[in-house]
Structure formats: C-alpha cells, structure tokens
Amino acid sequence: MDDEGEDKAAEAPAPDLSQEYFLIPRPKLDLPAVLEVLAVAAGFILISQLGLILIAGSAPLRDLFQGTEGGLIGGFLIGALVQLTLLGALYAFGQKDVKAAISSLREKAPASGWQMALGVAAVFIIFIIGGWLEEPARVVEFSKFALLGSLVPAVGGATQVVIFQGFILLRLKRAGMEGWLPMVFSGLAFSLLHVGYASPPFEAGIAAILAPLLGSFGLGLAWAWAFRMSNYKLAPVLASQVLAILVLQPWMALSYGG
C-alpha cells in the first residue's frame, strides 16, 4: 500500500508556478497614505517654486548674480537651499519614511538595482547630448559655471531623490500598495516638480509644455522602478540622478532657460 501511495504521488503533476511571474499585481488604494503622499509632494513642489520666485526676485540677489549664467547659478542655489530646508524639516518632525529613505543609503543594494539605475542615467545623458542641447560640446567644458552649475543643483537633486523616489514609494509600500500605481505617483510628482522646463528647442505652445512633462514623467518612472529593483535601497537612484545632474544640468539650463 505504501508503494502504491508513493507511485501515485510521483505521478501527480507538479503545480505550474510559472504563471505567477506573469501576474500583474492589482494596486491597492489606501486613501490616508495617498493623501499624505499628495500633501508632502504638493507642499514640496509649491514651496520650492514659491521660494525660487520670491527669493530670486529680491534686489540683493539680482545684484549678486549678474548675466544669464550668474542668474542660473543663483536659481540653482536658492532651489537647493529651499529644498534642503524642506527635507530637513520633514526629517526633524519625524517623518518616518523620509528617515527610512535616508537610512537606506547605508544599506547594500542588489546589483540589479545598480545596473538599472546607472543604465537610466546613461540613456538619459546620451539622449540629451544627442539632440536636446544647443551646445553639446560644452558638456566637457571646465569652468566656474560648469563647476557651480553641476555641484549646486546636485544638492537639490539629492533631496528630490529622497522625496520623490524614497518617501513616496516607501510610504505607499508601508500602506500595502503594490504594483505599478506607486511608481506612477512617483513619476507624476517628479514631472510636476520640473514643469518649468518648457522652452527651446520647442516652439511656444502645447508642445513646449507637454514634452518636458512627459520626459520628466518617464525619467521619474524609470528611477522609481530602479528603486524597486534596488530592494528599496536609495543609493543606486541617488548616484544615477546626481551623475545625470553633474553631466547635464548647467547645459540643460542654458538650453531650456532654467
């Protein structure tokens, strides 16, 4: 009898687990978590924009930063200071997902996350240099503007990574939201932060508004995906975004007027 039972067990077909890899997780909508994400992201975007408008419009700063390149450096500096202050306030008031995002920088991320994140940076850099800069040869220029125009916005970029990839995805993950929806939230918020990038090479009109928004959304979505692939460790995405800023930011600002 025991032999017959073993034979029947051996003949029973194994369950087909391959189907699990093709299932798309259904996103879960947790209203309190969504409202918290919207409030933090909207506050960060609005205060960043208002700070830039109000502080940059003051007479002392107009006198301090002269010319187009000086004005851009001034804008970078103000933006970085405002965003760093906002991040510091969220950390000081104990926002747990902001703290978790920053803490994850000390943790080792899987190789797949690094490959994805650095691949995003490489594709973005090649794409922008290949056809979106007015003076692509200046990317290798060494000057005061190139140095300050890279390093200063890298500080602001680092705070953006913590908020728009780290905080948003960790907060929604803690709420039990899986699937594609948290990444869409992240991409949309990142896109709205960069709504000011609307100028050449597009003509004035709807294309000048939509193209930068769609580009920023795609980039934010890719970085959100890289954060997921990094097992929610922020270092690969931070390195990717800072690398892109260091290479491109001054020249994108000159080409796009901000």
Supply the pLDDT for residue 13.
Answer: 57
Supply the pLDDT for residue 24.
Answer: 55
- For the chain, the residue count is 258
Q: What is the pLDDT confidence band of residue 195, given thresholds at 50, 70 and 90?
A: confident
Supply the pLDDT for residue 204.
Answer: 55
Q: What is the pLDDT confidence band of residue 257, given thresholds at 50, 70 and 90?
A: low
* Mean pLDDT, range 104-114, rounded to an integer: 95
Q: Where are the domains of the chain?
A: 69-256
pLDDT mean across residues, the chain: 82
Supply the pLDDT for residue 137.
Answer: 86
Supply the pLDDT for residue 65.
Answer: 57
Residue 221 pLDDT greater than 60, yes or no: yes
Of 223, 209, 218, 247, which is closest to residue 130 (Cα–Cα)? 247
* Mean pLDDT, range 70-94, rounded to an integer: 88
Q: What is the pTM of this model?
A: 0.82
What distance separates the 2 farthest-apart alpha carbons in the chain?
Answer: 96
Percent of the chain whose predicted confidence (pLDDT) is above 90: 47
Supply the pLDDT for residue 42.
Answer: 94
Supply the pLDDT for residue 200.
Answer: 46
Supply the pLDDT for residue 30.
Answer: 78
* Mean pLDDT, range 171-186, rounded to an integer: 90
Residue 63 pLDDT greater than 60, yes or no: no
